[in-house]
Chains A and B, each alone.
Chain A
């Protein structure tokens, strides 16, 4: 079974631009969560989607948004990029909202660099 895939793996943008990151969960998984990893803050929760509905959102500004499609694939968008948005963005998938945490699988992440 293929794992969680994230595209692109690396991205370089300049301040003020916007970016869209994509996550394809494991086949059959319906829940997708997004995290931002920075050296100073560790992993910080962005949002979670289940069956195309946002179920939970972290403490990030409105420039960060996301969505989930009917095939469970998810995208996150960051508008008006700032230097501080440079980070590794991780996506995690699980089968459903009652899955146990050891059944949540992370993708390799998208490394975003904002210049």
Chain B
């Protein structure tokens, strides 16, 4: 079952504009969320995270917003740059336990930023 969902497989944005990538989740016990970026032929790299005690986390051009009541989070990239073109994954760790391993990932959104 897909506990983390990214319903938009692709997004195309002009350079300089805002990119908004969306993610929904079904498990209300999730208390931490991450965004990863993946270029072709490379592994995913951590981008930004947010704890459920916050509704916003900002890191430079990247901001993640969390709406717990709607079980929805979004990643905003402002301004978007061509180098941001990549697949973006939303993820949440399994609830409970001390082990690190299991992350639930969305299917990813391919962001294309054109000049």
Q: Which residues of A contact B (CB under 8 A)?
A: 4, 31, 33, 35, 40-45, 47-48, 50, 55-56, 58, 90, 92, 94, 96-99, 101-102, 104-109
Contacts and interface: CB of A to CB of B under 8 A. Distances in A.
A106 B45 contact: yes
B101 interface: yes
Q: Is the interface of A mostly helix, strand, loop or mixed?
A: strand
B115 to A, nearest CB: 27
15 contacts: A31-B101, A33-B102, A35-B103, A42-B108, A44-B105, A45-B101, A45-B104, A48-B100, A48-B101, A50-B101, A55-B99, A55-B101, A92-B43, A98-B98, A98-B100
A45 B92 CA distance: 12
Contacts of A106: 43-45
Contacts of A33: 100-103
Interface of B: 6, 32, 34, 41-46, 49, 89, 91, 93-94, 97-108
B64 to A, nearest CB: 13
Contacts of A45: 101-104
A56 B102 contact: yes
B93 A101 contact: yes
Q: Is the interface of B mostly helix, strand, loop or mixed?
A: loop
Contacts of B89: 42-43
Contacts of A47: 101
Contacts of B91: 43, 101
A105 B44 CA distance: 8
Q: Ordered nearest first, which 5 A-B pairs have the shortest CB separation?
A: A48-B101, A106-B43, A42-B107, A43-B105, A33-B101
Contacts of A31: 99-101
B59 to A, nearest CB: 11
B44 A90 contact: yes
A108 B42 contact: yes
A105 to B, nearest CB: 8
A87 to B, nearest CB: 13
Nearest to A104: B100
Nearest to A95: B100
Nearest to B49: A102
